[in-house]
Amino acid sequence: MIIRPLLDQWEALPPLAQDGALLAILLVPAIAIGLVTLWGYRPFALVGAMLWRFRVTNLLFVLLIACSVGIGVGLIAQERGLRQGTAHAAEKFDLIVAAPGSEVTMMLAAVYLQPTDAPLLSAAVYEEVANDPRVSIAAPIAFGDSVDGAPVVGTSPQFVGYLSGALAEGRVFAAEREAVVGSRVDLAVGEHFEPAHGVGDAADEHAHEEAEFHIVGRMAPTGSPWDRAVLVPVEAVWEVHGLAPGHGPDWDGTVGPPYESAYFPGTPAILVRAEELWANYALRSEYTREDAMAFFPGAVLAQLHGLLGDVRQVMSLMAIVTEVLVTAGVLTGLVVLTRLYGQRLALLRALGAPGRFVFAVVWSYAAVLIATGALLGLALGIGASAALSQVVSARTDIAIEATLGWPELHLVAAFVSLTIVLAMIPAGAALTREVIADLRG
Amino acid sequence: MGLSLNVQDLRVTGAQGREILAIDALSLAPGGSLGVRGPSGAGKSTLLYALAGLVRRARGRILWDATDMIALRPGARTRFRRETMGFVFQDALLFEELSAAANASLAASYAAGARRRAIAAGAREELERLGVPSGGRRVRTYSGGERQRIALARALSGEPKILLADEPTASLDRTMSEALVADLTRRTRREGISLIAVSHDEMLLGAMDRVVTIKNGELVPA
């Protein structure tokens, strides 16, 4: 009865307010315990004394906590960065029409340029798609060659313009032997190259010696593997492989559509763009049939992310369990350290210090270690994640940016609150000790 | 002015139920001083801790003026100790990482606002009066005599009515002991503080108004 309106109000809050409120709620236990424990007391000089007395052990505890928190924060930030990076890389690929088969395989080939042997779509299907009035770009693609490890992708000049937007340098290719390089390709505008047949170690450097391309432009960064690709007219790819160039004998050499069906050798996929969003759904529906399949790369990616989401939850849970276990170990260590400091704590009690003050000294000591470790872990996690992002980006060509997000802050806040509550155990244990026995050492 | 002490039928038992202290009667006038001597393990320190309300298994009556330490609830006992008692131990038991002033004003950490300031001011005065240099340096660098005087300043900073001293000169050489005994007796007499000192040190015991002897947990005639 009361919960429903509260939930409705919560749902009505903007996301930023929800995240901020959740952070505050998670920190409430820690703050409340701190206020109740420390109210009216000044234990910080003694806490500082304890921190200094066991400085090496304390540093070790802080590092242990920092590492465990850092792993949790890093995992979450990295996973989110990877998810966002892969989604961003697929943003420009609204709809793909390909021969029936695996959507995931085709997405990996067309969006992420992973080498694959895909069946070809017929000229009839291409013509049907290209002539559909709802379609503004229908770009055939062709791949299989490479330059210094960078894949050579044949496509239409319209798609290059759409993918890059304004080029960073030069212009889009207009003739069969012209090329545009991705933003991270190590070739300059004005240079010439001869593509190797194949990709990787198996590439044949001499198979296309007669085909020299001239680089006329460089794309702006897209944050996708296309940044490492060399884009050439699809006609050129067909031709150097001994196929028809997509145009008839009286072709004037202008690259790009329209292509003639009789001279269209086939394409593994058509990258389709419709001006209207609804049209994409209609196109997907129409071209999902016996001789073709149409899919949204974003939707396929979302399915993959959904599957990986379960793994993420398990990993997050494991990270939390690790953090709690490490902190439990640290708190056990604190109980031992508190015993080593028992004579001084017994002195306080002998002098008439209230039990709450002695509790406050030990609790604050633990809280400082936990909070310091957690903050350090937060920085460590983000730093490690940023470094890892660079490595993964360099290897996959997918721009991954792991930044500090609310989930990490929530994780750290929950961790701090939980462990600060647990820190009451060594603090309480200090009060149960025999004063006289501790005074005598 | 200090408080009077009146102990009646005090019995303290150990963890195994064995009686380790049996004092039928013991008294001290307000502002007086009492020395307690006896062999090691006789129960001197146990008596001192019992008088401070620190012993868990005690029966009988320990009356400081009209307040019965044994009858008090633990919280009230702690408050009574905080408000009326000062302690000096054999080992100064200082916080080594803190300065002399911070050690001497330790009680200010848990005292309320006005009293906090009074304790801090009192600690500074006591250190000055006892001739302890109270800069920012940590107490671990002080000599044994200076450390005991810091402990004495800590005990006196809260203006106690009772001072309990457990072998305060045991870890000091002769010269330092003499100086500490002089400080201890001069300050307690001037302020009228009731002083009870457990010691083997005849010089310290000689400075007390009265000395009792404990053997096997019982007072024995002098």
**What is the predicted pLDDT for the residue at B44?**
92
The model's pLDDT over A50-75, given as tens digits with 9 standing for 90+, comes to 899 889 989 999 999 999 889 888 88
Q: How far apart are CA B23 and CA B12, in angstroms?
A: 9
Residue B126 DSSP one-character state? H
Distance (Å) from the C-alpha of residue A364 to the closest C-alpha of chain B?
14
Residue in A53, A350, A355 closest to B54 by CB: A350
Interface test with A, best of B79, B99, B110 (most A CBs within 10 A): B110
DSSP label at residue B138:
B
CB contact (8 A) between residue A354 and residue B81: no
Helices marked H in A101-252 = 103-110, 123-130, 157-164, 234-240
- Give the DSSP H or E segment for A67: helix A55-89
For chain B, the average pLDDT equals 91
Contact A196, A147 (CB under 8 A): yes
pLDDT range class, residue B26, cuts 50, 70, 90: very high
Q: How many inter-chain contacts (A to B, CB under 8 Å) are there?
A: 73
- B-chain residues near A436 (CB < 8 A): 46, 49, 54-55
Ranked by mean pLDDT, which of A303-312, B60-69, B172-181 comes out on top? B60-69
Residue among A41, A436, A440 minimizing CB distance to B110: A41
Chain B residues inside the 8 Å CB shell of A439: 49, 89, 93
> A40: which 2 tokens?
């009216």
Cβ separation B96–A49 shorter than 8 A: yes
Q: Identify the pLDDT of residue A203.
A: 66
Q: Quick check: B222 pLDDT over 90?
A: no
Structure letter (DSSP) for residue B42: S
- How far apart, in whole angstroms, are the C-alpha atoms of residue B113 and residue B83? 15
10 Å CB burial of residue A186 (0-12, 13-18, 19+) is exposed
With beta carbons under 8 A apart, name residues in chain A contacting B87.
Answer: 350-351
For A436, the closest of B55, B108, B154 (CB atoms) is: B55
Q: Which two tokens stand for residue A42?
A: 């000044």
User: Which chain B residue shows the shortest CA-CA distance from A48?
Assistant: B97
Which residues lie below 8 Å from residue A50, measured CB to CB, with a gap of 6+?
A: A337, A341, A361, A365
Q: Could you give the CA distance from residue A116 to residue A99 in angstroms, rounded to a whole number?
A: 13
The predicted model gives B121-145 an average pLDDT of 86
C-alpha span between B197 and B211 (Å, rounded): 9
CA distance A236 to A231: 10
The single-letter DSSP state of residue A141 is E
Nearest residue, CB atoms, A436 vs list B54, B112, B116? B54
CB burial of A227-246 (b: ≥16 within 10 Å; e: otherwise) equals bbbbbbbbbbbbbbbeebbb
A46, A439, A440: residue with CB nearest B109: A46
Q: Token pair of B64, please?
A: 């400081």
Q: What is the pLDDT of residue A405?
A: 87
Q: CA of A329, closest CA in chain B: separation in Å?
A: 26
Reported ipTM: 0.92
From B162, B175, B203, select the one nearest B64 (Cα to Cα): B162
Q: How far is CA A134 from the centre of its chain?
A: 33
Name all domains of chain B by residue range, CATH numbers in brackets: 5-93+144-220 (3.40.50.300)
Are the C-beta atoms of A110 and A271 separated by less than 8 Å? yes
pLDDT at residue A207, as a whole number: 67
Calculate mean pLDDT across residues B181-193: 90
**Which regions in chain A score pLDDT beneath 70?**
1, 203, 205, 207
Check CB contact of B97 with chain A, cutoff 8 Å: yes
A65-74, A103-112, B110-119, B128-137, range with the lowest pLDDT: B128-137
Domain ranges for chain A: 17-89+304-439, 95-295
